[in-house]
């Protein structure tokens, strides 16, 4: 039933990627649906993070990268020459595996994006900061210490701060590269809860090596192996009756 209602927001067609001579992705074709959580799973080095980074062109920062195929977001080919990459990155936000708050105050971390966009008035910024910190379930914990250094927060709090920071530029899509892998179980649970609430407003793609997390949190799951997309389906289907044996082997823990 979700198929019919939610439209496709990201379309990847026959995408391959090379780091120099080494091929990291082979002919991946898939679609990401709007306001759903899509999880990428697979063993280390299978290309899931690399594929994720295609969506906000963060791979551009690596020297010697070559890409074939097409990636379109909302119908626009994001690899065309005339695309404004800076703008793309505002619309497609990213949360990294290891939280990387700026060595500034909590407030300034969240306000960074809006400031870049030109918002100067303090009242506007205050509103944005509060809104985003509330959205990332961090407001109550930091509201009395907004001007303290972000580096003083715990790992889990820093990661939620990074989420708030990304939300502040009003993205439509959120890419999360193993957002909870460096966190303790309690913080992980909080992040998963957060993902669940965020999906009503944002399209979320999450890379995780934790299959239980994928099954808890996502609506769709894609299994990658050695640079190829092996299987992609609705999460309940993937985890109860996967079509391919390789998928089943990975999910049941026979390798990976």
Partner 1 sequence: MKASKKATGAGIVLLTGLCAFGIIGVVVFVMGTIIAGGHGMMTWKFLTSAPAQGMTAGGIFPAIVGTFFLVLIMSIVGVPVGTITAIYLSEYVRQDSWIAKSIRFAVNTLAGIPSIVFGLFGLGFFIQFVGRNMDRLFTPEGQLVWGQPCILWASLTMALLTLPVVIVSVEEAVRAVPKELREASLALGATKWETIIRIVLPNSITGILTGGILAVSRGAGEVAPILFTGAAYFLPHLPTKLSDQFMELGYHVYIMSTQSTNVEETAGIQYATTLVLLLLTFALNFSAIYLRYWMRKRSLQ
Partner 2 sequence: MATQTDLIPRRLLQTKPRLRPLEFVAEKMLALVAFVSIFFIILILIFVFRESLPLVIGTASDDIGKVSIKRIFDAAWMPVSNHPQYGLLALIIGSLKVTLVSMCFAFPVAILAALFTSTFAPKWAKELMKPAIEILAGFPSVVIGFFALTVLASVFQNVFHLHYRLNAFTGGIALSLAVIPIIYTVAEDSINVLPKSMKEASFALGATKWETSLFVLLPAATPGVFAAFLLGLGRAFGETMIVLMATGNAALISPDIFEPVRTMSATIGAEMAEVVFGDAHYNMLFFIGVCLFVFSFSLNAVAELVVRQRLMKRFRGSV
Task: Considering the complex, state which of residue 80 and residue 245 has its C-beta at the smaller distance from partner 2.
Answer: 80
Please give the order of strands across the beta sheet that includes 173-177.
92-95, 173-177, 203-207, 37-41, 220-225, 228-234
Residue appearing with tokens 């990975």: 250
Task: Considering the complex, state which of residue 25 and residue 78 has its C-beta at the smaller distance from partner 2.
Answer: 78
DSSP-derived secondary structure letter, 38:
E
Task: Considering the complex, state which of residue 60 and residue 248 has its C-beta at the smaller distance from partner 1.
Answer: 60
Residue 43 in tokens: 């063993």
Q: Which of the stretches 40-48, 87-95, 187-195, 238-246 binds partner 2 when contact is defined by CB under 8 A?
A: 87-95
| CA proximity to 138, closest of 114, 167, 118, 117 | 167
Q: How far is the CB of 17 from partner 2 (least distance, A)?
A: 21
| CA proximity to 143, closest of 125, 156, 129 | 129
Task: Considering the complex, state which of residue 65 and residue 83 has its C-beta at the smaller distance from partner 2.
Answer: 83
Q: In the chain, how long is the greatest CA-to-CA distance?
A: 57
Contact mark string toward partner 2, 152..191, x via CB under 8 A: -----------------xx-x-------------------
Q: How far is the CB of 138 from partner 2 (least distance, A)?
A: 17
Residue appearing with tokens 């082997």: 249
Binding residues for partner 2, per CB under 8 A? 73-74, 76, 78, 80, 82-88, 90-91, 114, 117, 119, 124, 127-128, 131, 169-170, 172, 200-201
């Amino acid at each position: 039933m979700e198929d019919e209602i939610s439209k496709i927001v990201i379309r990847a067609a026959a995408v391959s990627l090379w780091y120099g001579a080494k091929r990291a992705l082979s002919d991946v074709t898939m679609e990401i649906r709007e306001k759903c959580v899509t999880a990428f799973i697979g063993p280390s080095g299978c290309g899931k993070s690399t594929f994720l980074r295609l969506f906000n062109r963060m791979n551009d920062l690596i020297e010697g990268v070559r890409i074939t195929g097409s990636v379109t977001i909302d119908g626009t080919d994001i690899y065309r020459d005339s695309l404004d990459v800076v703008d793309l990155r505002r619309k497609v936000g990213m949360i990294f595996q290891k939280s990387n708050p700026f060595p500034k105050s909590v407030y300034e971390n969240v306000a960074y994006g809006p400031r870049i966009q030109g918002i100067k008035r303090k009242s506007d910024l205050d509103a944005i900061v509060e809104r985003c910190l509330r959205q990332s379930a961090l407001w109550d914990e930091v509201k009395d210490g907004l001007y303290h250094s972000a580096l003083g927060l715990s790992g889990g709090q820093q990661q939620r701060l990074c989420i708030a920071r990304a939300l502040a530029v009003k993205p439509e899509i959120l890419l999360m590269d193993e957002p909870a892998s460096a966190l303790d179980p309690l913080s992980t649970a909080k992040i998963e809860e957060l993902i669940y609430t965020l999906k009503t407003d944002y399209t979320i793609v999450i890379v995780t090596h934790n299959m239980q997390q994928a099954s808890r949190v996502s609506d769709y799951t894609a299994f990658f192996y050695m640079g190829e997309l092996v299987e992609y389906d609705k999460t309940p289907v993937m985890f109860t009756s996967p079509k391919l044996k390789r998928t089943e082997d990975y999910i049941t823990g026979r390798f990976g």
